[in-house]
Structure 1
């Protein structure tokens, strides 16, 4: 993976990263964070740093017994997940991880995507990339656990993830590798996003032969404490936490206005309404979608007077509300 050395948190080359649109390892960008320095001393110091900011709010975390090998995933027939979601305090989770730091195969404890502002107020005063100073609205989230594997998945937003404690290995694939990664069910999912069914530790190339082609396109990076990675939206990524105790802080943001809805419901709607049509009809609808959606944004309405374009013109917040109301009306018929 392309690597930028000597990058500072107050001088992130965001314009360059977004223009290039490929993953980049940012070495040492968060080396001065208080949590990074504490974690370099010991896991105990890192946990003490987190406890300083704990607001005492209950949180959700994933628990899996040692048999899952740190991989929150599915049961054998993909009808249920192989872990359970529990509620407790941050201190409870930290104590549980601490009790198993020396286990060769510990139970899995994993706090995922916890909003920092509410759960650890004041944490960002000592540990932050300050993307707001660059005009980016990206409230940070924290991920806390032991040796956990996040199965390969994609996220729609742009992402900068900081390895604050421990080590993490990222394996990243461009969006066009979706077919070679064998996506699993849309529901349920281990973490809210569809994941690859391939076991990256022991890939079954008889069952998943196209995964060899995906590996040929893979980029990898090993993140040490204070390193960060930029992952463009829609890129697939597999993440392995390598130390007995690991903490990551990430920043997600969309480059589109907030009033533009997530495309995921549109995918579900298309599966419902289009996928099982006769092939000739599907091809015709593919042409319709190319004309209205995937082609140039102004093409479908450019021959109409501005006052007649409605949804074919630029979408603003007011029009977005009207579209939403129209869709709700259609779905409720």
Structure 2
């Protein structure tokens, strides 16, 4: 049975004004926790159009649109905006299709003002491919590394708590969005679904934060005690550090977000998600004594790594223990591919 009481996050997020930020890249690089920057993108043309009206924003997006069909997700009104699994857990509660932007915006307008409307959502859409005009006229440099910029559009859509490997700067363009963030150490309290069947590529919490079933998910109340919550207004931005879980709720009839992702390590190093999948294949089913031994090895060489671990090896023999530059990365990747293909 769902809990009738609405759980609130344990604390608000730290905030500052855009006027407090001299160098955005340096400011973000120093952060290790979430940070709200009020008014960071308030002067963007897309934000100004959104403040005028939905129609003005729609006209602006149409002018900036490449014409490539959008990948859309739509669900019935009884999903209450939530992107999630179906009751059988063999699929999802929404349907994917392709639409032109004009059709999508017409649907948004048709549902506007309804207390409980069908869900209409466009997830991460690369600006360079779908909205090159937006990329050209609304610019930011959140990182020394070239960030990946995407646009998100929808009505009162709810995306369950999930994490991203890259750092993330989420810029609220139109409508208000409520973000609830959980530190990485709350994994055990979030009741995460399968990692290989996901609504949008990342594993998600099975808990509906707006109406949590604490009989089914009793530890979720502990997650909420550690959570931080904020509502972004158009023009505001939120820095979400790598690996922080975030639940996102659109609060208006049309919500538009532009976000930037970037990594603190070179792309040639690959993603730790591949390591997890390989560990599922090779380590998880070992006898407990062997798993403990491998945990110690990972701690020694990876998680608690220090120079002492390899100080006794001459430089000429370091191999993969040496600094992971592009050449070592290529050689190690080739070795792994050969091993996996046997």
TM-score, scaled relative to structure 2: 0.93
**Partner residue of 2:39 out of 23, 28, 31:** 28
Partners of 2:63 and 2:133 within 8 A in 1: no
Q: In structure 1, how many angstroms separate the alpha carbons of the residues matched to 2:24 and 2:42?
A: 17
Listed one character per residue, the Cα deviations across residues 103-151 of structure 1 (whole Å, up to 9, x for unaligned) are: 22221111111000121122123222233xx523113100011110010
8 Å contact 2:14–2:35 — kept in the other structure?
yes
Matched, 1:99 2:92: no
Which residue is 2:4 aligned to?
none
* C-alpha deviation, 1:315, in angstroms: 1.2
SS at match of 1:122: helix
> 1:2 is matched with which residue: 14, 22, 36?
14
2:245 matches 1:236 = yes
Q: CA deviation at 1:217?
A: 0.6
Distance 1:194 1:216 in 2: 22
Is the aligned partner of 1:90 residue 2:85? no
Instruction: After TM superposition, give the deviation of residue 300 of structure 1 in Å.
Output: 3.4
Name the structure 2 match of 1:214. 223
Q: Which SS does the other structure have where 2:208 is aligned?
A: coil
Task: Give the aligned partner of residue 8 of structure 2.
Answer: none
Matched, 1:39 2:50: yes
Q: 1:58 Cα deviation (Å)?
A: 1.5
Alpha-carbon offset, residue 8 of structure 1: 7.4
Give the deviation of 1:12 after TM superposition. Answer: 4.5
Question: Which structure 2 residues correspond to residues 1-333 of structure 1 after superposition, within 5 A?
Answer: 1-7=13-19, 11-131=22-142, 135-333=144-342
**Kept in 2: contact 1:8–1:29 (CA 8 A):** no
Q: Which runs of 5+ in 2 are unaligned?
A: 1-12
> In the TM superposition, what whole-angstrom CA distance separates every residue of 1:269-322 from its partner, at most 9, and x where no partner exists?
111211122111111111011111112253433211111110011111111111
User: Which of structures 1 and 2 has the larger relative contact order (alpha carbons within 8 angstroms, sep 6+)?
Assistant: 2
Report if the CA contact (8 A) 2:46-2:134 is conserved: no
For this pair of structures, how many residues does the alignment match? 330
**Contact preservation (8 Å) 2:147, 2:260:** yes
RMSD over aligned Cα atoms: 1.5
- What's the TM-score once normalised by structure 1's chain length? 0.95
Q: Distance in 1 between matches of 2:309 and 2:341?
A: 28
Structure 1 residue ranges, 4+ long, deviating more than 3 angstroms after superposition:
6-9, 11-14, 297-300
Q: Distance in 2 between matches of 1:152 and 1:257?
A: 26
Most deviating of 310-319 and 219-228: 310-319
Unaligned runs of 5+ in 1: none
